[in-house]
Amino acid sequence: MKRAGVIGYPLTHSTSPAIFQAAFDAAGIDAGYEAWPTETEQLEGRINALRGDEMLGANVTIPHKEAVVPLLDRLDPQAELVGAVNTIVHDSGDLIGYNTDVAGFGRALREDAGFDAKGKHVVVLGAGGAARAVALSLIESRAATILLTGRTPRRLTAVVNDLRGQTSAGVTLSWAYWLDGSFLVSLPKADLVVNCTPVGTLGGDAADESILDTDYIPADGTVFDLVYNPAETPLLKAAKEKGAKAVSGLGMLVYQAAESFRLWTGQDADTEKMLTAGREALAGAS
Ligand code: NAP
């Protein structure tokens, strides 16, 4: 039996085992998917264990997405640009790092939100690994303006500096400090707002909070929350009340997982079965 798993800490409420096991079972692949809770001092040993013959690879989640990079043999160019790895592929003893959040977000935006980013004005909230993946996906889709906002200028500058070289004519990538007036002016006119912070996550420090006040939500726009637990976050509730289109991060979660599955097996995953398994796992955890 082949093995794969998710590496992170803590992993108490991870939906990954349910989602991936559903995909392996639907494809008739003899593989088991495990949760591997890993503290920082255990990370190197856990990564080296992936070189075993039976290992397909692993997913990586908070807090290790950046820390695993130096422990791998090489990186896919997208993972290199994002500076974070969420999927490790084992290839004959070598470990290769990928970032499937870029493809997962792009597919969810197209298929779940029905949104074509080309020529559109987008505001991205946050400057972490997920914001980097989202910004790269939007650059690749040729959004007209991508404005990153957050509370730590150093992190915002780093994202823009690292990704600006990927932009082409007609695509502008910039950042604004959270309390900057320009940011507040840009928001109501945005075609798309993407929350890449954990604000609104069930069980988190800011579980009951919407990252945006209703006044600043664009009534004619689309609001995409990467947070997928709960299905309707406070931000998505506020977006619906304002009349905006509200999109949950669950689709992205499944599509980035489907991309990991394809990298490990060479096969397309049954995303309907993965989605059902994800919904059931979330219902069981809430
Ligand atoms: P990360 O690297 O830790 O970055 C988090 C970002 O959110 C940082 O910019 C941080 O600001 C900001 N932030 C945190 N708490 C905040 C608060 N209370 N107010 C304002 N900003 C706050 O995390 P990540 O990997 O980017 O993940 C971000 C979220 O996306 C998580 O909830 C994760 O589960 C979710 N996610 C979902 C999917 C999916 O498939 N749906 C995929 C990836 C990630 P500072 O820079 O100031 O610390």
The C-alpha atoms of residue 83 and residue 149 are separated, in whole angstroms, by: 19
Active-site annotation holder among 65, 118, 237, 240: 65
- Kindly state the tokens that stand for 66: 């950046």
pLDDT digits (tens, 9 = 90+) for 103-158: 999 999 999 999 999 999 999 999 999 999 999 999 999 999 999 999 999 999 99
Going by CA atoms, what residue is nearest to atom 44 of ligand 1? Answer: 130
Q: How far is CA 234 from CA 49, 207, 209, 227, in A?
A: 40, 8, 6, 10
Which residues approach ligand 1 with their CB closer than 6 A? 62, 101, 104, 126-131, 150-152, 155, 196-199, 201, 206, 226-228, 249, 252-253, 256
Q: Is 203 exposed, middle or buried (0-12, 13-18, 19+ CB in 10 A)?
A: exposed
- Kindly state the tokens that stand for 127: 């400057």
pLDDT category at 12 given cuts 50, 70, 90 is confident
* Mean pLDDT value of segment 189-214: 94
Q: Given CA atoms 59, 65, 70, 73 in this order, what sign does their dihedral have?
A: positive
Annotated active-site residue 273? The verdict is no
Q: Given CA atoms 114, 141, 80, 269 in this order, what sign does their dihedral have?
A: positive
Going by CA atoms, what residue is nearest to atom 14 of ligand 1? Answer: 197
pLDDT category at 182 given cuts 50, 70, 90 is confident
- State yes or no: cis peptide before 153, omega within 30 of 0: no
pLDDT digits (tens, 9 = 90+) for 165-175: 999 999 999 99
Q: What spacing in Å lies between the alpha carbon of 99 and ligand 1's midpoint? A: 16
Place of tokens 């993407």: 194
Domains of the chain plus CATH, in order, are: 2-99+252-285 (3.40.50.10860), 113-248 (3.40.50.720)
pLDDT given at position 284:
81
**Residue 49 clears pLDDT 70, i.e. is over it:** yes
The C-alpha atoms of residue 216 and residue 186 are separated, in whole angstroms, by: 9
Ligand 1 atom nearest 126 alpha carbon: 9
Q: What spacing in Å lies between the alpha carbon of 117 and ligand 1's midpoint? A: 22
pLDDT category at 37 given cuts 50, 70, 90 is very high
Q: What spacing in Å lies between the alpha carbon of 129 and ligand 1's midpoint? A: 7
Bridge partners of 224? 194, 247
- Kindly state the tokens that stand for 138: 């939007």
* Mean pLDDT value of segment 242-267: 97
- Kindly state the tokens that stand for 111: 């298929």
pLDDT category at 188 given cuts 50, 70, 90 is confident
Q: What spacing in Å lies between the alpha carbon of 130 and ligand 1's midpoint? A: 7
Amino acid at residue number 114? G
**Residue 181 clears pLDDT 80, i.e. is over it:** no
pLDDT given at position 286:
63
pLDDT given at position 185:
87
pLDDT digits (tens, 9 = 90+) for 56-96: 999 999 999 999 999 999 999 999 999 999 999 999 999 99
Q: Detail the DSSP E strand segments found in the chain.
A: 2-8, 31-37, 55-60, 74-75, 87-91, 94-98, 121-125, 145-150, 172-177, 192-195, 222-225, 245-247
Ligand 1 atom nearest 86 alpha carbon: 43
**Residue 99 clears pLDDT 90, i.e. is over it:** yes
**Residue 24 clears pLDDT 90, i.e. is over it:** yes
